[in-house]
Structure 1
Amino acid sequence: MTLDVYRSALGDRTRGWLALHPDERRRRAVEACAQKDAGTLWSLTEAHLGLYGASGILVSPHTLSAYRTGVTQYVLYAQERALNVLHPSLDDAQAYALHLLERRKIATVRGKVAAAAALYKALRWAGATDVTPFSGVRVPKDHEHPLTKNPPYSPAVLRRVFGRVDEALPLARGRERTRLLSARTLLLILAHTGLRIQEALDLAWADVHLDEDEPFITVRSGKGRKSRDVGLSDRLTSALRTYRALPRRRSHAAAMVLPFRTRAAAANLLRPLFERDEVDASGRPVSDWRGCHAFRKATGTRLYEALGDFAAVAEVLGHADINVTRSYVRISGGRAGKVMRDW
């Protein structure tokens, strides 16, 4: 049996690489490049992100997951094409971007290229190479509006989904009732507060203030580790009180509002609720599911329609840049059309 250090946190994993003598760090990095060892190359990249990334060890789990996938896919690409990982050229890097553009959306390609660039920052830190192949890669601009690519959920879709849950709850028992209550709580959190999905998953009961004159939640896990208070609707307040009374099996689960920790678990819970009672030409159920971010855009749109104030919407959504908020809000042409008809 071989004993090893248990590294449960990013800081611990980062210190594992930092504790190495520079010569040993370089040796391991060079060896991983030669063997195209995706696991070791990701471990090195993660350590560098923890040390020198914009957020340091506070980098979000979602960012780490996306970068890990990006580094792994790049190493697989290098394996398939016998690419020299240690010394690729700018042409090699641009060819990788072209390969991605043939298969994925522009925004996704930008993320994959960023992950590969992060790998080479880590390799330079380790002293394994001095190349910067991805610094000159060109990815075309995406001129499609964010609301066209992924529009917000319409009020009609949300009414239908909430109605499905409300109809099923009175007849549900045991685990099925708990599952539906979890789904209703998550739906209301996302649709009535505009939280990012990670913020919803990280929400603790200690930050839920239901007994105030105006109930609110304190969001602490947003981008930049900033906190903000978000008011609660009467409907969400009632749902949270009901949900809080449910028995929880584990102490950690009892501290958190939602019992699951991953985006995949959240999506698996909600996705079936968006299926319509019809099928497409291939016989598959028609679904209105567009992911959790579409709730955030729906909240932004609804708030702007009520307030007409981008700054107020940005405050609720936690945007530092009001121009980002504009890309979240679908402005109806109805009001403008009425004014123009009256000219």
Structure 2
Amino acid sequence: MTLDLYRADLGGRTREWLALHPDERRRRSVQACATKDVEALWSLTEAHLSLYGGSGLLASPHTFSAYRTGIRQFSQYAETQALNLLRLTPDDAQAYVLALLAQGRKIATVRGKVASASALYKALRWAGATDTAPFVGVRVPKDHEHPLTKNPPYSAAVLRRVLGVVEERLLSACGRERERLLRARTLLLLLAHTGLRIQEALDLTWEEVHLDEDEPFLTVRSGKGRKSREVYLSDRLVMALRLDRTLPRRRSHTAGMVLPFRTRAAAAKLLKPLFERVDEQGRVRSDWRGCHAFRKQTGTRLYEALHDFAAVAEVLGHADINTTRAYVRVGGRRAGKVMRDW
């Protein structure tokens, strides 16, 4: 019998790189670059992010997943262009940006890919594999399109229709189908009535749900920066959560969690079909814009009621009020009401 390092969790995988002698860490990193071994390159970067990233081990699974995808795609690009990863130049890095833009990638996506590649080179420098920093100073064009134009919030009409579809189907549903619809209603209301990030909703535990208070609320601790905040609940959401709590749990790894699934893909799979509709020409259309559009809808609705960016930022968990401004666009609508009376 032989002993091996524990690698089941992020901390264990990080300790594996830390346990290496610096010469061995460098050797493995150089070899991974020579063969463009995506798994090894990601493993090194993951360890460095866990140690020296802004949130370290507390970064969300989505963050790590996005970086992993970015490093895989950069490695594939380097392979097709026959680039030497250890000798990459700033011109090579800028050419990568040009290639991404030429593919029609959105500017926000390009920034994410550049951040992933930059993280890889920080890890390589940490491992002593190279001294080069090709992505320092790389220029990505500014995105002048308003975030609400690129991905607008759901309208109140769409949300009413979707929730109405769920309620109508619940009247005749039974068994597993009824459970699925009840969970879909809970998730819809959780996102639309609280403005939670989808990862915050997925991470929510029943210990953080306070339904028996005079003013029921959630304690949200899993947002960006691991900050804690309280979010108060609508009566409709309270009723949905109380009913959801009585539903059976069939998977032990979700015990204590509000939602019985752990991934964004599972959440989208549950909700996306509910947003399909048939138009006047009999064609199937979809109003689905992803989970983040619920958050923008909440921000816009709150601002229309409160006219207070600080209050909206507190609910959404934004540290910078300027971030909240990107979630709210009501000026044009309010101005339009005035201008019609001119």
TM over 0.5: yes
Deviation at 1:68, TM superposition (A): 0.2
Q: Is 1:279–1:285's contact at 8 Å kept on the other side of the alignment?
A: no
Change (3 A) 1:27 1:153: same
Deviation at 1:334, TM superposition (A): 4.0
Q: Any idea what SS the aligned residue of 1:153 has? A: coil
In the TM superposition, 1:48-59 aligns within 5 A as 48-59=48-59
TM-score normalised to structure 2 length: 0.96
1:253-298 CA deviation, whole Å, 9 max, x = no partner?
Answer: 2300000000011011111111111499xx9731111100000000
Change (3 A) 1:135 1:278: same
Q: Which residue of structure 2 lines up, in the alignment, with residue 117 of structure 1? A: 118
Q: Which residue of structure 2 lines up, in the alignment, with residue 61 of structure 1? A: 61
In the TM superposition, 1:6-155 aligns within 5 A as 6-103=6-103, 104-155=105-156
Q: Any idea what SS the aligned residue of 1:133 has? A: coil
1:114-146 CA deviation, whole Å, 9 max, x = no partner?
Answer: 000000000000000000111121110000000
Q: Which moved more, 1:193-202 or 1:93-102?
A: 93-102
Correspondence 1:218 to 2:225: no
Q: Which residue of structure 2 lines up, in the alignment, with residue 300 of structure 1? A: 299
- Aligned-residue CA RMSD (Å): 1.7
Instruction: Give distance in 2, aligned partners of 1:299 and 1:46.
Output: 34
List gaps (5 residues or longer) in structure 2.
Answer: none
Instruction: Give distance in 2, aligned partners of 1:121 and 1:332.
Output: 42
Change (3 A) 1:279 1:30: farther
Instruction: Give distance in 2, aligned partners of 1:293 and 1:88.
Output: 36
Instruction: Give distance in 2, aligned partners of 1:6 and 1:287.
Output: 45
Q: Is 1:279–1:286's contact at 8 Å kept on the other side of the alignment?
A: no
Q: Which residue of structure 1 lines up, in the alignment, with residue 325 of structure 2? A: 326
Amino acid at match of 2:69: T
1:65-89 CA deviation, whole Å, 9 max, x = no partner?
Answer: 0000000101111111111111111
Q: Is 1:147–1:327's contact at 8 Å kept on the other side of the alignment?
A: yes
Instruction: Give distance in 1, aligned partners of 2:15 and 2:170.
Output: 49
Q: Is 2:5–2:12's contact at 8 Å kept on the other side of the alignment?
A: no
Instruction: Give distance in 2, aligned partners of 1:288 and 1:331.
Output: 21
Change (3 A) 1:242 1:194: same
Instruction: Give distance in 2, aligned partners of 1:251 and 1:274.
Output: 30
Deviation at 1:11, TM superposition (A): 1.5
Amino acid at match of 2:259: L
Q: Any idea what SS the aligned residue of 1:77 has? A: helix
Instruction: Give distance in 2, aligned partners of 1:334 and 1:258.
Output: 36
Q: Which residue of structure 1 lines up, in the alignment, with residue 237 of structure 2? A: 236
Instruction: Give distance in 2, aligned partners of 1:147 and 1:3.
Output: 54
Q: Which moved more, 1:247-256 or 1:136-145?
A: 247-256
Change (3 A) 1:334 1:106: closer
Deviation at 1:3, TM superposition (A): 6.4
Q: Is 2:154–2:297's contact at 8 Å kept on the other side of the alignment?
A: yes
Q: Any idea what SS the aligned residue of 1:134 has? A: coil
Deviation at 1:19, TM superposition (A): 0.7
Q: Is 1:205–1:257's contact at 8 Å kept on the other side of the alignment?
A: yes
Identity of aligned residues (%): 77
Instruction: Give distance in 1, aligned partners of 2:66 and 2:316.
Output: 22
Q: Is 2:296–2:328's contact at 8 Å kept on the other side of the alignment?
A: yes
Q: Any idea what SS the aligned residue of 2:6 has? A: coil
Q: Any idea what SS the aligned residue of 2:15 has? A: helix
Instruction: Give distance in 2, aligned partners of 1:62 and 1:176.
Output: 29
Change (3 A) 1:156 1:338: closer
Instruction: Give distance in 2, aligned partners of 1:341 and 1:265.
Output: 45
